């Protein structure tokens, strides 16, 4: 899949693995690639650390890309890639619990993807909901959806509602599943809600910025500090544009169904080496 899809090694200071290492990873922080020759002079890049060197991100956001390409490479039906991708989300939540990450957002289906053939959308939703039901059965993680979920078929909306209700009091990391999600519409909906509840004439720009976050789909949660996108694409594709303004961006060539604990650990080690100065 694309952004909608379910879809520790040595490395240079840029976040790229050296030639010949076991999986190619590419990282970009604040939308700027840093080459290894520049890294020593960059005030924002520190040597890659270990996960223990600093606190993990409180909120990890993931664009799980590459399911269809994985299916083509392995000559299997794409629905099998979606199922494997759903299993990786289950693994991801276990790894996040172990690492101390407390919020996770996974972009399972974009609003644009609803324009795909109905059978293709149904395959994504069935794999995603099947995976979420298996996760809910463990009682480990609170699971909620964000996005224009009302645009999904009624039976899927009902299933997602049950999953959210059944897991609301679970003790583990909180999982946001972005379905029929558009980052721009997230902001538009927040602006509409803000305008309905406040007299905008009485607000200055700093008030609006502070209040707007209360009406986004992730209200009450910290913004993501780290975004991981798999399968080689190096863009956010409209994913959480407001919330990711200060996020570190990590890109890996690994397709989502192959994303492993080593890949996860490598991303956190790279994040641990970042010096987050926020312009100061």
* CA dist., res. 63 & res. 106, Å (int): 6
Burial classification of residue 75, based on how many CB atoms lie within 10 Å of its CB (0-12 exposed, 13-18 middle, 19 or more buried): exposed
> Of all helices (H) and strands (E), which one includes residue 178?
strand 174-178
| Total count of residues recorded for the chain | 280
Give the ranges where the chain is alpha helix by DSSP (H): 36-39, 67-74, 78-99, 118-138, 154-167, 183-197, 205-212, 261-272
Q: What is the pLDDT along the chain (280 residues), one digit of tens a residue?
A: 444 444 433 232 233 333 333 344 444 443 333 332 333 333 344 445 555 557 899 999 999 999 999 999 999 999 999 999 999 999 999 999 999 999 999 999 999 999 999 999 999 999 999 999 999 999 999 999 999 999 999 999 999 999 999 999 999 999 999 999 999 999 999 999 998 888 766 777 778 888 999 999 999 999 999 999 999 999 999 999 999 999 999 999 999 999 999 999 999 999 999 988 877 7
Domain layout of the chain by residue ranges: 25-181+217-272
Asked if 173 and 96 touch (Cβ cutoff 8 Å), the reply is yes
User: β-strand 143-146 against 59-63: which pairing, if any?
Assistant: unpaired
| Catalytic pick among 4, 44, 53, 65 | 65
Question: Is residue 65 annotated as part of the catalytic site, yes or no?
Answer: yes
Total-model pTM: 0.82
Could you tell me which residues are beta bridge partners of residue 177? Answer: 106, 145
Which residue do the tokens 């979920």 mark? 149
Rounded to 5 degrees, what angle do the CA atoms 68, 69, 72 make?
90
Catalytically annotated residue among 4, 67, 87, 113: 113
Residues 120, 112: Cα–Cα separation, whole Å = 13
pLDDT confidence of residue 143: 98
103-107: strand order across its sheet: 25-29, 248-252, 226-229, 59-63, 103-107, 174-178, 143-146
The Cβ of residue 135 has, within 10 Å, a number of other Cβ atoms equal to 24
Question: How big is the CA angle at 92 (ends 157 and 36), to the nearest 5 degrees?
Answer: 125
- pLDDT for 276 equals 83
Reading the block at residue 50, the tokens are: 């270990």
Give one DSSP letter per residue of 240-279, joined into a string: STTTTTT-EEEEESS-GGG--HHHHHHHHHHHHTB---TT
For 186, the 3-state DSSP assignment is helix
DSSP state of 54: S
Q: How far is CA 80 from CA 155, 169, 274, in A?
A: 22, 31, 36
Pick the closest to residue 267 from 43, 64, 19, 42 (CA basis): 64
Domain 25-181+217-272 has CATH 3.30.450.20: no
Are 170 and 137 spatial neighbours (Cβ–Cβ below 8 Å)? no
Whole-number Å distance between alpha carbons of 130 and 143: 13
């Amino acid at each position: 899949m694309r952004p909608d899809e379910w879809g520790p090694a040595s490395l240079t200071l840029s976040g790229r693995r050296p030639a010949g290492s076991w999986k190619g990873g590419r990282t970009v922080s604040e939308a700027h690639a840093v080459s290894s020759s520049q890294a020593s002079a960059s005030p924002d890049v520190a040597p890659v650390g270990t996960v223990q060197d600093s606190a993990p991100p409180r909120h990890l956001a993931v664009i799980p890309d590459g399911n269809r390409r994985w299916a083509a490479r392995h000559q299997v039906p794409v629905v099998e890639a979606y199922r494997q991708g759903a299993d990786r989300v289950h693994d991801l939540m276990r790894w996040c619990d172990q690492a101390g990450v407390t919020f996770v957002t996974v972009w399972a289906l974009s609003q644009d993807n609803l324009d795909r053939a109905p059978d293709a959308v149904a395959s994504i939703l069935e794999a995603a909901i099947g995976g979420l039901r298996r996760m809910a059965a463990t009682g480990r993680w609170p699971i909620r959806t964000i996005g224009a979920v009302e645009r999904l078929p009624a039976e899927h909306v009902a299933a997602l509602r049950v999953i959210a209700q059944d897991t609301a009091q679970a003790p583990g990391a909180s999982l946001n599943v972005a379905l029929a999600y558009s980052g721009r519409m997230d902001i538009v909906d927040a602006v509409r809600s803000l305008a309905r509840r406040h007299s905008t004439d009485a607000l200055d720009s700093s008030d609006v910025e502070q209040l707007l976050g209360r009406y986004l789909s992730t209200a009450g949660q910290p913004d993501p500090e780290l975004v991981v996108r798999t399968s080689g694409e190096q863009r956010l594709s409209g994913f959480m544009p407001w919330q990711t303004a200060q996020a570190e961006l990590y890109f890996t060539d690994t397709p989502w169904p192959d994303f492993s604990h080593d890949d996860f650990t490598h991303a956190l080690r790279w994040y641990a080496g970042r010096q987050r100065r926020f312009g100061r």
